[in-house]
Amino acid sequence: MNISNRFSANLIAVLGSGLAPFAITLITLPLLIEIIGLERYGLLSIAWMVTSSVGFLQMGMGRAVVQRLNAARRVGSIGSLDDRNSILISAFSLTLAASVAASVIASIAIYTYCVSFEVVASDLMLEVLKGLVFLSASVFLGFWVSLLLGVYQADERFYFYSTIRFFNVAGAQLLPLAAAFAFKPEFDILMMAVMTSRMAIVIAMLYGIRSDLRQMTKSKLTRARSLDLLSFGGWVSVLGLLSPMLVILDRFLIGAAFGAGAVGIYTVAYNLCTRLLVIPTSVSNVMLPKLSRLTGELLNLHSSRGLQVTAMLMTPTVVGFVVVYEPFVTVWMNFEIAAQTSRIAAILAIGVWITSIAQGPYTRLTSENRVRTIAIWHMMQVPVYAVALWLSLKALGPIGAAYCWSARTVADTIGLMIISRMRLVWTDLLLFGLVVMTTCSQILIPEASQRLIVGTVLIASSLVTASAKFISLGGMQILRKRSSKVQESKADLE
């Protein structure tokens, strides 16, 4: 299998593992709520909220392993098993400490929250107490799933990586549903099912790297390697803390200014739009191991190719999303919500496309061990964005938040492109123009039938343009291969 085919196959596998759980959620969520009731589902949601909030303690160890193992390959030291073992044993030791701390903190936080604010009825507190043990174990195992996924990603074992990602999400939804149906719809039973799912996944993943585990027993933990991983992972954790500020600040300020109802309307459009980011995230996951071991012209070539693939995939997706958004939400919810959110969704869609482009320089900077630079850039954005967002809300209402959010993505992407010294080619700008035209048509054209006609033309145009770009990328790769063979033949003759 050549490089291009392998990249396509890996991307399809990773993308599929990101999309499939959405379909499972649509099916299982109504059933789970019906079986366990809204109160227990609310308790389960609180548990996920708390456990996700302690994720920063993981210190970005999975991503650190991906970068460090492949950076070692770049300089050639991966030929020494001692170097790989040193990276892995340090990552395992740090994850052990972090996972124990996180499991204890999560249990204490949930218990304190439930008791202090009396969010559950007294008869459910016994379920909470019994479920805390299983919740702690689930948090502990979740940290190990993330680390081991990093090992598989680093080794580019994307079929196994994608399978595990799928079963990790699917198991956390299907097993609790099955346990509630077969036994009792109680919190402790649900958490025991989640723990069982994660335990099975961790065991399977450890078996897949059993040769590494045998070699690690011959290695020693080194302070220098641990500090090296912490220096990288620490800045990943800072990014993990900053990103929610940039992501949820718009809804927080909308609620403060206009109330919960306005937040609900805005969130419908926002959540549907940001689901599209599974595409650039998948491209980033596939590209990071490769970019981490490249330098010079090869790094420029492959990072640029990843950027163009993202633009090619996202353009028809975003254009189609904007065109079908209003009729889809009309059927899914109702016409009133569709009418209230369609303009917001169209504006946010521009920001989503631009954010997907930002994944290119973000991934390149990560591969070059420049996560600190990304974190500092995001720190600089927070106060400026907060002020601009508040002024936009005061001037335009909730739709002002959409304009401001998309404007911030432009500034963020331009900054990352400058820092990474990457640039868009003219065809990428043409694709972006189609996205902007689609948004303008959906906002400015009053008649729904006319919007649909124009939108259909733009969808066709985006598909044709993206297909032409795909063909040109394939042609460029063939020409490079031929040029390389010619140069090798000349060298042999000489």
pTM, 2 dp: 0.80
Listing DSSP states for 56-105 in one string gives GGGTTHHHHHHHHHHHHHHHTGGGSHHHHHHHHHHHHHHHHHHHHHHHHH
Q: What are phi and psi of 220, to 5 degrees?
A: -115, 150
- Distances in Å between the Cα of 315 and the Cα atoms of 261, 406, 485 are 32, 16, 34
- On the question of pLDDT at 492 being above 90, the answer is no
What is d(CA 71, CA 385) in angstroms, rounded to the nearest whole number? 34
pLDDT per residue over 229-258, tens digit each? 888 888 887 887 777 677 778 877 887 787
pLDDT per residue over 31-58, tens digit each? 877 888 877 777 777 777 677 778 778 8
Q: What is the mean pLDDT of residues 276-293?
A: 89
Q: Binning pLDDT at 50, 70 and 90, where does residue 81 land?
A: low
Across the chain, mean pLDDT equals: 83
How much is the pLDDT for 487? 46
Q: Binning pLDDT at 50, 70 and 90, where does residue 74 land?
A: low
Of 204-213, 311-320, 472-481, least confident by mean pLDDT is 472-481
Query: Is 386 in contact with 401 (CB distance < 8 Å)?
Result: no
Q: Binning pLDDT at 50, 70 and 90, where does residue 75 land?
A: low
- On the question of pLDDT at 347 being above 50, the answer is yes
What is d(CA 23, CA 148) in angstroms, rounded to the nearest whole number? 25
How much is the pLDDT for 77? 47
What is d(CA 359, CA 416) in angstroms, rounded to the nearest whole number? 9
Read off the tokens for 454. Answer: 């124009």
Query: Is 228 in contact with 365 (CB distance < 8 Å)?
Result: no
pLDDT per residue over 392-427, tens digit each? 998 998 899 999 999 999 999 999 999 998 888 777
Cβ-count burial of 447 within 10 angstroms (0-12 exposed, 13-18 middle, 19+ buried)? exposed
Q: Binning pLDDT at 50, 70 and 90, where does residue 80 land?
A: low
